Structure 1
């Protein structure tokens, strides 16, 4: 897919705040380009289901699509920087041993690249 084709497609964007711009749009702006964002969702997890029933495309972490064999995966036609990932929890679970364990496990797993 060329950069021109990429920009012409209708995109799904992930934004916890409901924004219609993100890191991909910042990378495109440096090239004086914009893309068509038609939908903003708050989680990467819903994107595969939306892609299956629309003609939209999405920029997603590679690890997420490894198990979605029915989706077409193409390399991005531009460099897009990563973004910061954060864990958040309520104060009431801060000292809970099981919650501490799962947070530690998530932190450990996130340090290893996908194979």
Structure 2
């Protein structure tokens, strides 16, 4: 849900024409149903414990996690941390770093049960 809200906000803020924005929204909203249909189609031939399946799932999970970490650090946090408001106050920078570390720790803690 939060990724969808973030991507939707980025699409709205982008300086693209209506057709390009509509295409982005279309492809974003089609990917999940397409993935579900593909999963249903492949469920009959998928062997959960085979070595190739485990390697494939591991590679896909690792690439997904890497992309999310990259997007969070480079696209989202860097814009906030390099802004003039945060750059002008050391106290605010320290508070922001603490909150980011607490958030990352909370997400790591939640991942233990996921």
The answer to which structure has the higher helix fraction is 2
- Structure with higher Rg: it is 2
> Do these two structures clear the TM 0.5 threshold for a shared fold by scoring above it?
no
Determine which structure has greater relative contact order: mean sequence separation of CA pairs < 8 Å that are 6+ residues apart, divided by chain length: 1
TM-score tier after normalising by the smaller chain length? 0.3 to 0.5
TM-score if structure 2 supplies the norm length? 0.32
